[in-house]
Structure 1
């Protein structure tokens, strides 16, 4: 399967046309009409790549068009093999602008740069089931937001330290982690913060020491608010703080929900993952009632989706039926690029910048900016 099927810069609508000239230039060979929508075909995209003078890594953020330059009617036709994983009828999806969830797909414009930063919007990436894409989504959503000029802090709040590993950090070599920030009086976040290879994105790392915090916090006063107190001094420095929660509903997860303004629930399109969502929503409601009245469910993010299987389609349809507009329009499909990025220790937006996975998380970042804008 050819992964490099989207335009430089992540397949933004109208981006290649804006970079190369007016949309009408050379349109006879590069665009074809599909209904009322201008679509760049996969074959034409390959030809354009060969003729393009754009750098391989795509456009920088400063070169992204936004606002009135966006063309919501221009789309890119993905590799047919990949299109089958997102829509059983790709032609209908393009013609009627219907997303994988079966709902009309809104257009999420490229955001304008910010004049100033902060205070941060805190998002908890939470699901008590493991292996549903929490860490992958935290890394790649954070990187995509940073690519759009937002300052992002990722918090590894899982004793397994998967988020740290996914960003190229060896948890066993760390002297101080988020555990020390929680449990050591007088320690500042600057002593724990690590810079990542992604400009504008920082990390609060974790390792197995954090598992001790769940026991030690039991005897603390206001133990559910320990993380909120630790993050409070950092709010003016960032636009988004994303917490990667552990796969359980224990005290650490309650801490994350108490500190957060909103929750994103990554949900693998599989039956066992679907069963746990009801229990998670009950926990969110309890935290909202008793600890954090401002907490809200921003969305359920469907991950590991493959429409070639009836099971994936049925699970996604049931989620949309049950949660309606709380389900993100963006759906993350299966691709081998995600496990490759874990080995490489970097986000997919830098490891495979023109891949369909990178394009999906860039679209998710734009949808998040629309759903939960920074304060």
Structure 2
């Protein structure tokens, strides 16, 4: 989070061990302050101590530069001389003093488990990729920095009326990237699609037809505890914060089985409610359908009495082409009918334009403009059609593990921060 020196600061150069420099960058980002401000405060506090603090291991220290108020570095040099420690040791102690005085903030947890329903009755728009990428981005480590596209990319995309090369588009996006701590959320991904795409893409195994499943729990015929079916996704990367409830092909029969269930709109909520206390966010990857299962998913995402607007609801995935607009109209009509019939509030969390490529010309750019013009719900994500997502699917790994610095991963993190 370094920035150019203002007129009232001067550049100073010393050394710090790499591990300490990394800890400083992370902690400063967690508190949303500039590194130079953190170092300035640390040096001031260290100089005001009655004596030096514990010795820091500075082996392997390499160049470190920052900007300090005029005169502070000279006063610091004099203090290190008086205390008979090296400049490098004094700076290391100062930085560690600031880190110790500013512990990592607690991860912000919602009072009510958020429920995000990723939907569109049109197949092939990439709902599964968005479900997985959003969940991965929300679950990333809050004590590590990850590249995020923090500025709005939509304006730039719309300005690009002429097709551009993929390299040029990526170079343009790099101007908007900042390294930020992950949200650190506890996330459950629910594969609600009988095709089991989410389950397969994340390297899990679909549940057997003769065993227990989410379908059985929704139909009122459970064969055990739903928790026993949940699997952890990539423990090395997400450290137990990201889980998956795999799908079973028996979900092809869900609409038929739901037709015999009382209050069938609440069937998904009855099944998942016992799990909610374990998670901050539950994301449901819906099937390309407008049947009873979609009613149950939309109802699950409704706003509850103790919940603020925009915390839970429907996230609609589309592409920048005409058939997505037709499917969007059908989906929103179904949700609006459900709102009226059951007298519930179902919020739209936004539109994600997926698999976008301005090189496809007028169809893509004009369609994107059409989505942006809707305003309510607004476009909250723009994800490019690049190779890394397809590669991650092929090797059955999470995108943010396989290609954490790719433009698609950076876009998923931007989407996560829009939805948070």
| Distance 1:115-1:367 versus aligned 2 partners, 3 A rule | closer
The TM-score with structure 2 as length reference comes to 0.62
Q: Deviations over 1:248-281 (max 9, x none)?
A: 1011111111111300000011111112111111
- 1:5 aligns with none
- Matches for 1:1-375 after TM superposition, within 5 Å: 18=1, 22-24=2-4, 65-69=29-33, 113-114=106-107, 116=109, 119-147=112-140, 148-171=183-206, 175-183=211-219, 184-185=221-222, 187-197=224-234, 198-199=238-239, 200-261=241-302, 262-291=313-342, 293-308=344-359, 309-321=361-373, 323-369=374-420
- 1:36 aligns with none
Report 1 or 2 for greater relative contact order, CA contacts < 8 Å, sequence distance ≥ 6.
1
In the aligned structure 1, how far is the partner of 2:125 from the partner of 2:263? 30
Say if 1:153 and 1:242, in contact at 8 Å, map to a contact too: yes
Residue 134 of structure 2 aligns to a residue in which SS?
A: helix
How far is the alpha carbon of 1:216 from its aligned partner? 1.3
Q: Deviations over 1:147-201 (max 9, x none)?
A: 1211111111110011101110121657433223323247322122222113301
In the aligned structure 1, how far is the partner of 2:28 from the partner of 2:319? 32
The TM-score with structure 1 as length reference comes to 0.69
Q: Deviations over 1:215-249 (max 9, x none)?
A: 11111111121101111112222111110000010
How far is the alpha carbon of 1:213 from its aligned partner? 2.1
| Distance 1:128-1:112 versus aligned 2 partners, 3 A rule | farther
RMSD between superposed Cα atoms in Å: 2.8
| Distance 1:118-1:151 versus aligned 2 partners, 3 A rule | farther
How far is the alpha carbon of 1:117 from its aligned partner? 6.0
| Distance 1:355-1:292 versus aligned 2 partners, 3 A rule | farther
How far is the alpha carbon of 1:64 from its aligned partner? 7.7
Say if 1:226 and 1:255, in contact at 8 Å, map to a contact too: yes
In the aligned structure 2, how far is the partner of 1:279 from the partner of 1:362? 29
In the aligned structure 2, how far is the partner of 1:64 from the partner of 1:216? 53
Bigger CA radius of gyration:
2
Say if 2:216 and 2:223, in contact at 8 Å, map to a contact too: no
What number of residue pairs does the alignment pair up? 280
In the aligned structure 2, how far is the partner of 1:218 from the partner of 1:264? 26
Residue 215 of structure 2 aligns to a residue in which SS?
A: helix
Residue 66 of structure 1 aligns to a residue in which SS?
A: helix
Structure 2: gaps (5+ residues)? 6-17, 36-103, 141-182, 303-312
